[in-house]
Amino acid sequence: MRRARHAGRTFAWQMLICICFLAIWQWGYALHDRLPWLVPDLLDPYFISRPSDIFEHFLILSCLKSKLGVFNGWFNGEFARCMARSENNLWIATAVTLKNTFFGFVTGVSSGFAAGLVLGRSDKLSAIFQPFITAVNSIPRIALAPIIVLAFGIGDTSKVVTSWIVVVFLVFFNTFEGARSIDEGFINAARLLGASEWQITRTVVIPSTMAWVFASLTPAISFALIGVIVGEFIGAERGIGRLIIESEARAEASGMMVAVVVLMLVGVALSALIWRLQAYLLRWQQHNLAE
Amino acid sequence: MSVQALHAPEVDAPPDARRIDVRGLCKTFQLAGTAIEAVRDVSFNVRRGEFVALLGPSGSGKSTVLNMIATLLKPTSGQILIDGVPVIHGRATPNVGYVFQRDTLFPWRTVADNIGYGLELAGVPVAERKDRVNACLKQAGLEGFGNAYPSALSGGMRQRAALMRTLVVEPQVLLMDEPFGALDTHTKIDMHDVLLRIWEREQQTVLFVTHDLGEALTLADRIILFSARPGRIKESFEVDFARPRNAVKIRETPRYAELFQLIWHSLGEEFIKGRKP
């Protein structure tokens, strides 16, 4: 009861903050001439647009409205024509960026996880690879993006590779640490119950490394998205990053902001998916709280 | 019976009655460049179905001996035979079960899945596995906790579950490394009764490491007393209480007090020797 009231109050505060934020964004600059000492120049809609313009631009970019400001309607064919006309409309751009993020994430997580497990469980291999890993890890991976685009072209492959390269190390290091810090007691227990090396890996090493891996997945999904967007900045025909570059070329702040808002929503949705998966796979950890 | 007669005669069991046979076992650890001799020339054997306790102060090498028998540690020299076959370091010996000092239940598996783990490894079909796990849960008084995770259980319950995880595969030899060391006195005595009931029925060969004399007297047929480091066998005592034993009642008998006093004296000497100057 008390907790419910508390949650309600929290929500009310959150709403209030949102409304204030949006209101200042929308109308704050109107006060600039009268109160120049209070309202910074940066609030100029030329730079940061304003919520109503962003929404308007969202409708246009997503073919829900024509450029003249008329609602397209779903059934008169205008929507379909607009979709066909603009190669990089918001739907396609989002789908392309999401797809590349997904592949970058999946390949990065799986290869980082596998490498982390192998090196984490083998003192010999980790000793051999240690200096190389440290060296490569010291490179800001994003700096490789232009080279990757040069090598793999402006198609989707270069985005997946950029995304992969920023994700793989993150997951690798977490898995590696996790595999190093496994309680030897668990491994001995499994071995004495007759487990083979592969059974030990499957039933002890992987489950006990999971908590470490999951700790890296939420940042990994943001990193995957960053990798794709940077790749699209450098050279792409489609994608949200491309949308941002196009809007920037036309000095259209509202267009960039649409892209940013969409990226935010995509990021939140993907993180929520990870949290759900984590809550399921690591459900044994929840019970620690009940003790 | 005179006190002297309690000392077990140092005669070996006939070879075909020996389940565990340890000969000239030595172990030296290298710690930061210093050699530490943990076990020196330990030889003993355990008959089929016998319950033997290895008793000694901490640092007397009794756990080291057990872990060498369990293949967790490699002996510096000496030989270990189980049913006449030498054990191989790092490879589990069939039919040998091990219970750890602290429970090593997998926190990511439910209690039932923990107990069924050994059966799962052996590829026992799900239905049979379920039956055997349920029987074990019942035996350990853990009915209704099968779907709980280990973190939700008390220390005693966890150790019972850990014991069942070892017993479910029905090992003929049971190696136990101070399994009840972390439990409070009453939980410990409960566990003694649980273990006694199981042992009386299954008659496994048990090698039980402990520093608790009362525990050794309650459970064992024979107590092998270890000296302070380097660990050697100092003495061996037959514990002649009738079976079945009751872990609570046995402590009230005069015989218990008599044996306790006798062995305590010898153990106390080692305890004092083991103290750092």
Residues A94 and A98: their CA atoms lie apart, in Å, by 6
Amino acid letter, B166: T
Q: Do B71 and A192 touch (CB under 8 A)?
A: yes
Pairing of strands B96-99, B34-47: unpaired
Q: Is A210 on the interface with B (CB under 8 A)?
A: yes
How far does B153 lie from chain A, in Å, by closest CA? 8
Query: A interface mutation test: which of B63, B68, B106 has the most A CBs within 10 A?
Result: B106
- Alpha-helix residue ranges (DSSP H) falling in chain A: 2-27, 45-48, 51-61, 78-85, 90-121, 123-138, 145-152, 156-180, 184-192, 197-200, 206-234, 240-249, 253-281, 283-290
pLDDT in tens, A224-241: 999 999 999 998 889 999
Place of tokens 């030889």: B43
Q: Do B100 and A203 touch (CB under 8 A)?
A: no
How many CA within 13 A on the CB side of residue A68? 4
Q: What is the CATH number of the domain that holds B254?
A: 3.40.50.300
Name the residue among B97, B106, B121 with its Cβ closest to that of A186. Answer: B106
Q: Is B95 on the interface with A (CB under 8 A)?
A: no
How high is the pLDDT of residue B8? 54
Sheet containing B34-47: give its strands across: B34-47, B18-31, B77-82, B85-86
pLDDT in tens, A164-221: 999 999 999 999 999 998 998 999 999 999 899 899 999 999 999 998 998 899 999 9
Domain ranges within chain A, ordered by starting residue:
1-48, 90-290
* Tokens standing for residue B136: 């074990």
B134 and B199 inside one domain: no
How far does A105 lie from chain B, in Å, by closest CA? 26
* Tokens standing for residue B87: 């054990």
B223 and B141 inside one domain: no
The fold of A90-290 is: MetI-like fold (1.10.3720)
B166 occurs within a structural domain? no
Q: Which residues share a beta bridge with B174?
A: B97, B206
How high is the pLDDT of residue B103? 82
Q: Which residues of chain B have pLDDT under 70?
A: 1-12, 276-277
B113 occurs within a structural domain? yes
Q: Is A183 on the interface with B (CB under 8 A)?
A: yes
Residues B55 and A136: their CA atoms lie apart, in Å, by 54
Residues A204 and A195 sit within 8 Å (Cβ to Cβ): yes
B101 occurs within a structural domain? no
Q: Is B106 on the interface with A (CB under 8 A)?
A: yes
End-to-end CA distance of chain B: 38
* Tokens standing for residue B199: 């042992």
| Total count of residues recorded for chain B | 277
How many CA within 13 A on the CB side of residue A253? 12
Residues of B in contact with A188 (CB under 8 A): 72, 98, 100, 104
- The beta strands (E) that lie in chain B are given as 18-31, 34-47, 51-55, 77-82, 85-86, 96-99, 173-177, 205-210, 222-226, 233-238
Q: Is B170 on the interface with A (CB under 8 A)?
A: no
Q: Is A203 on the interface with B (CB under 8 A)?
A: yes
Q: Is the ipTM of this complex over 0.95?
A: no
Name the residue among B70, B151, B152 with its Cβ closest to that of A192. Answer: B70
How high is the pLDDT of residue A291? 38
* Tokens standing for residue A187: 């491994």
Name the residue among B104, B120, B149 with its Cβ closest to that of A189. Answer: B104
The residues, any chain, with a CB within 8 Å of residue A125's CB and separated by 6 or more, are: A118, A119
Neighbouring C-beta atoms of residue A177, cutoff 10 Å: 15
Q: Is B104 on the interface with A (CB under 8 A)?
A: yes
B53 occurs within a structural domain? yes
How high is the pLDDT of residue B162? 92
Q: Do B149 and A284 touch (CB under 8 A)?
A: yes
Q: Is A193 on the interface with B (CB under 8 A)?
A: yes
B38 and B150 inside one domain: no
Q: Do A188 and B121 touch (CB under 8 A)?
A: no
B260 occurs within a structural domain? yes
Q: Long-range CB contacts (< 8 A, 24+ apart) of A280-286?
A: A281/A210, A281/A214, A282/A210, A282/A211, A282/A214, A282/B108, A284/B107, A284/B108, A284/B109, A284/B110, A284/B149, A284/B151, A285/A211, A285/B107
Residues B136 and A65: their CA atoms lie apart, in Å, by 69
How high is the pLDDT of residue A102? 95
Residues of B in contact with A207 (CB under 8 A): 106, 108-109
B164 occurs within a structural domain? no
Helix (H, G, I), strand (E, B) or coil at B91: coil
Q: Which residues of chain A have pLDDT under 70?
A: 1-2, 67-70, 72-75, 286-291
| DSSP state, residue B13 | P
CA B39 → CA B60, B62, B79, B87, distances in Å? 8, 8, 13, 18
Query: B interface mutation test: which of A184, A188, A192 has the most B CBs within 10 A?
Result: A192
Residues A49 and A252: their CA atoms lie apart, in Å, by 8
Residues of B in contact with A191 (CB under 8 A): 90, 92
Residues B79 and B178: their CA atoms lie apart, in Å, by 23
Name the residue among B70, B104, B149 with its Cβ closest to that of A185. Answer: B104
How high is the pLDDT of residue B18? 83
Q: Do A287 and B148 touch (CB under 8 A)?
A: yes
Whole-angstrom Cα Rg for chain A: 24
The domain of B115 spans 106-159
B181 occurs within a structural domain? yes
B79 and B184 inside one domain: yes
B70 and B185 inside one domain: yes
* Tokens standing for residue B161: 């579950």
The residues, any chain, with a CB within 8 Å of residue A233's CB and separated by 6 or more, are: A241, A244, A245
Helix (H, G, I), strand (E, B) or coil at A2: helix
Burial B1-10 (b: 16+ CB within 10 A, else e): eeeeebeeee
Peptide bond into B230 cis (omega under 30): yes
How high is the pLDDT of residue A230? 95
Residues B192 and B212: their CA atoms lie apart, in Å, by 12
B130 and B175 inside one domain: no
B133 and B12 inside one domain: no
End-to-end CA distance of chain A: 23
How far does B124 lie from chain A, in Å, by closest CA? 13
Q: Which residues share a beta bridge with B97?
A: B174
B142 and B229 inside one domain: no
Return the HEC string of B211-257.
CCHHHHHHHCCEEEEECCCCECEEEEEECCCCCCCCCCHHHHCHHHH
Name the nearest CA neighbour of B96 among B19, B42, B164.
B19
B148 and B267 inside one domain: no
Number of domains present in the structure of chain B: 2
- Alpha-helix residue ranges (DSSP H) falling in B41-154: 62-69, 111-115, 117-121, 126-139
Residue B44 phi, psi (nearest 5): -165, 170
